Amino acid sequence: MSPSLPRFLASLIAPIIVVGVIPLWLIRTVLAAYDTRWPAGASWVWPARLLGVAVVLAGLALFVWCVTLFARRGRGTIMPWDPTQRLVVAGPYRHVRNPMISSVLFMVAGLALLRGSALTGALALFFFVVNHFYFIASEEPGLLKRFGESYLTYKANVPRWLPRLRPYIDL
């Protein structure tokens, strides 16, 4: 078994919890009486559900791409016990600094569309807000400490959330 397979599998833990376990637990146990659903028979329900599936699949594809880049280029994972050894400035990281978080956000938002769940949509918003402040307070200072000037240059050229159109070229 290649060393990247265990890293990939370890990287699945957090997204599975955020995308699957937490929303299902919240909806089925804690907040079931308050959750909304798509209205039965509305003509736009199936297009909304299909859009949800497309958004989930796009998020999943982006997530797998990011995890693969972390393992191959960064020689690490998203998990704190196995962080990347090298700054990853390739693929989607050339356009935006946090594509992995965006991928999980897409999956949760797509799940909200698929299920017609306002609570899952609220979870997506909550996930984004928490991660925004976490990145400012913890992740970015940690990356600066680990990668120094190269991270400062990258940070100055690549936006945190909204992708730049032209890819950043790391010199």
pTM: 0.82
Q: What is the pLDDT of residues 98-118, one digit of tens each?
A: 999 999 899 999 989 988 888
- As a whole number of angstroms, the distance between CA 153 and CA 126 comes to 30
Please return the burial class of 140, using the count of CB atoms within 10 Å of its CB with bins 0-12, 13-18 and 19+.
Answer: middle
- As a whole number of angstroms, the distance between CA 143 and CA 156 comes to 13
* pLDDT surpassing 60 at residue 3: no
Q: What is the pLDDT of residues 62-101, one digit of tens each?
A: 998 998 898 889 887 777 777 889 999 999 999 999 999 9
Cα-to-chain-centroid distance, residue 94: 16
